[in-house]
Amino acid sequence: MLNVESLQHRLREFAAERGWEPYQNPKNLAMALVVEAAELVEIFQWLTPGQAARIAQDDPARHEHLGEEIADVLFYLLSIADRCGVDVTTALERKLALNAVKYPAGATSAKKS
């Protein structure tokens, strides 16, 4: 199970041990998040939807790289939340509740946010 607070603590320690705190402000972290998200998207670039769905079976090295990029995105996302005092679990629960109202079950819209 993912323990957000524990991960954020570990990320703070990791950054502190390397003297990165001055650079890890919300603006810089958000920019880094976008870069990492682009690297995540790049893994799927030019794949068909079927190829993307079978990435674990068809290309173990690419699948491992996918996990690394997902971890990078999560690293920056959790760091932004930590620096800005956002409780990720509370924010996620609130957003799920808002989306349940906005997109009721059985509705035909495929949009998700």
Tens of pLDDT, residue by residue over 71-96, are 999 999 999 999 999 999 999 999 99
Q: What was the pLDDT predicted at 2?
A: 85
Higher pLDDT, 28 or 108: 28
Q: How much is the pLDDT for 113? A: 63
pLDDT of residue 14: 97
pLDDT of residue 80: 98
> What's the CA gap between 62 and 39, in Å, rounded?
12
- Please give the pLDDT value at position 111: 62
Q: Count other C-beta atoms under 10 Å from residue 24's C-beta.
A: 18
For the record, the structure tokens of 67 come out as: 């996990």
- Give residue limits of the domains in the chain: 24-101
Sign of CA dihedral 113, 97, 36, 80: positive
Per the model's pLDDT, the better-predicted residue between 1 and 110 turns out to be 1
Residue 23 pLDDT exceeds 80:
yes
Helix axes 4-17, 60-84, angle to 10 degrees: 90
CATH number of 24-101: 1.10.287.1080
What does the DSSP 8-state code read for residue 67? Answer: H
Are the CB atoms for 25 and 83 separated by under 8 Å?
yes
